[in-house]
Amino acid sequence: MKRIIIILLALAGMQLQAQDLPYFKKVVKELSSAKFQGRGYARDGANKAGKYLEKEFEKAGAEVTLQPFTININTFCGKADMWVDGRKLRTGVDFSMREYSPGVHGEFPVYHVDTLNFDGDRLLAELAKPENAGCLVCCDSWFTYKHRKVFSKLQKAGECANAGLLYTWEAPIKFFKAYGEKVVDKPIVWVTPEAIEDVKSVKLDVDSKFLSDYGLFNVIAKVEGRKHDACYVFTAHYDHLGNLGKKVYYPGANDNASGTAAIVTLAKHYALHQPEYDMYFVAFSGEDANLRGSTFFAEHPIVPLTQIKYLFNIDMIGDDNPALYCEVSDAGMSQFAEFKSVNAERHLFEKLDRGELAANSDHYPFAIRGVPCIFLENKEGSAFPHYHTPADNMRTVRLDSYEPLFRLVCGFIDRQN
């Protein structure tokens, strides 16, 4: 009988840890709504979302502080229209702008690069001819990366007489902000191959606005534990891509309303059940602008980095892959076996698929500073193709991985205390 009671209590504890699924969904839905316009920078969507999170953490029972910082960032919140041979393309679907592109207005002939018989010097000579002056050079994006010494010249004023570049990218077209702290001389547009095939003329009407020293902030919530000499840290970025034009915004339900909602529910859980150690829940801004918020925090920590027992960075968990992707810092590898043990014993994910540590999310500034940390992401499921597109919304996001991830993290912490 005693054994049965212990098992029932354990099952009840697991249910308790997973009981916030409706609230998790509510937070994801709110953050990805039109109210916050993609949680970007030009229309203050990120900061509005940050104030919303401040209130949610406070309602959860956490003590909240805001950590301000500034960035420089290029934005596209005005006109964003494109026509090919008189046919209008869909903004954010058929084309998007490179984050470091200037605005562009006008109609241009298109020069299609011959990639099968490519010669860099011959291409530059061709583009120097008067009949090709003012053209947009069109080429496969991966091919331009492979021959970036040549194509980088086509981005600079005075190097060549072309007006700009069209880089083809297979659908769905992605939009990025990571390198938007600079603006190159000439416009660069990503466009699907089928939209630009054999096109002779392109018209563009795209506005850009460069924001200097634009103010953002990290939202830091604390739940006090019984001990204060060490802590656990949960992180997720709440900013996203914002707008591409006046009508298109990027909801970012999976990326990363899902991870942000998860740490809010974790804060609520630990506020109701006092933990052994202090818990910090940090919602970063500026992640999509090259990890700016997390880098600032790592450089100006509110708690010594040496006191962090483990940091959990949760990013894009709104998917349905039965496996969970992980990246682990060198300092965190000694405890990775514990993650795998908890996962196996509780039958949470089919496997923990560990990848190579990379500067792809907010764990990285901590990993390179010796903090034990893990990056948790559910990728390659049915929602994954929609990330960084306007289709990353409540219709495509999946909630399957939230509960097992919640139990994995809580189970790991229970083992440590």
The CATH number given to whatever domain includes residue 277 is: 3.40.630.10
Q: Could you tell me if 262 and 291 lie in one domain?
A: yes
For residue 212, pLDDT over 60 is answered with: yes
Look at residue 76 in the predicted model and tell me its pLDDT: 96
Of the pLDDT bands very low, low, confident and very high (cuts 50, 70, 90), residue 11 is very low
Average pLDDT over residues 154-158: 93
Of the pLDDT bands very low, low, confident and very high (cuts 50, 70, 90), residue 20 is confident
Look at residue 80 in the predicted model and tell me its pLDDT: 98
Helix (H, G, I), strand (E, B) or coil at 39: helix
**Domain count across the chain:** 2
- Residue 119's CB: how many other CB atoms inside 10 A? 11
| pLDDT tens track for 315-333 | 999 999 999 999 999 999 9
| pLDDT tens track for 227-275 | 999 999 999 999 999 999 999 999 999 999 999 999 999 999 999 999 9
Q: Could you tell me if 243 and 368 lie in one domain?
A: yes
Q: Could you tell me if 269 and 287 lie in one domain?
A: yes
Residue that terminates a domain, selected from 157, 187, 206: 206
Look at residue 3 in the predicted model and tell me its pLDDT: 52
Q: Could you tell me if 162 and 129 lie in one domain?
A: yes
Q: Could you tell me if 297 and 217 lie in one domain?
A: yes
Q: Could you tell me if 310 and 389 lie in one domain?
A: yes
Q: Could you tell me if 245 and 172 lie in one domain?
A: no
For residue 6, pLDDT over 60 is answered with: no
CA angle 31–210–75, rounded 5-degree value:
35
Q: Is residue 131 part of a domain?
A: yes
Of the pLDDT bands very low, low, confident and very high (cuts 50, 70, 90), residue 19 is low
Q: Is residue 398 part of a domain?
A: yes
Q: In what order do the strands lie in the sheet with 352-354?
A: 63-75, 209-223, 277-284, 227-237, 308-314, 373-377, 324-328, 352-354
Q: Is residue 1 part of a domain?
A: no
Q: Could you tell me if 229 and 136 lie in one domain?
A: no
Q: Could you tell me if 201 and 221 lie in one domain?
A: no
Q: Could you tell me if 251 and 385 lie in one domain?
A: yes
Helices (runs of H) and strands (runs of E) counted in the chain: 12, 18
The percent of residues in the chain predicted with pLDDT above 90, rounded, is 94
* Domain that includes residue 184, residue range: 80-206
Residue that terminates a domain, selected from 155, 172, 206: 206
Q: Is residue 269 part of a domain?
A: yes
Q: Could you tell me if 314 and 384 lie in one domain?
A: yes
Residue that terminates a domain, selected from 138, 172, 206: 206
Taking Cα atoms as reference points, which of 138, 141, 150 lies closest to residue 112? 138
CATH number at residue 128: 3.50.30.30
Of the pLDDT bands very low, low, confident and very high (cuts 50, 70, 90), residue 137 is very high
Q: Whole-prediction pTM value?
A: 0.93
Of the pLDDT bands very low, low, confident and very high (cuts 50, 70, 90), residue 1 is very low
Q: Is residue 96 part of a domain?
A: yes
Q: Could you tell me if 40 and 93 lie in one domain?
A: no
Q: Is residue 249 part of a domain?
A: yes
Average pLDDT over residues 28-37: 98
Beta bridge partners of 83: 88, 203
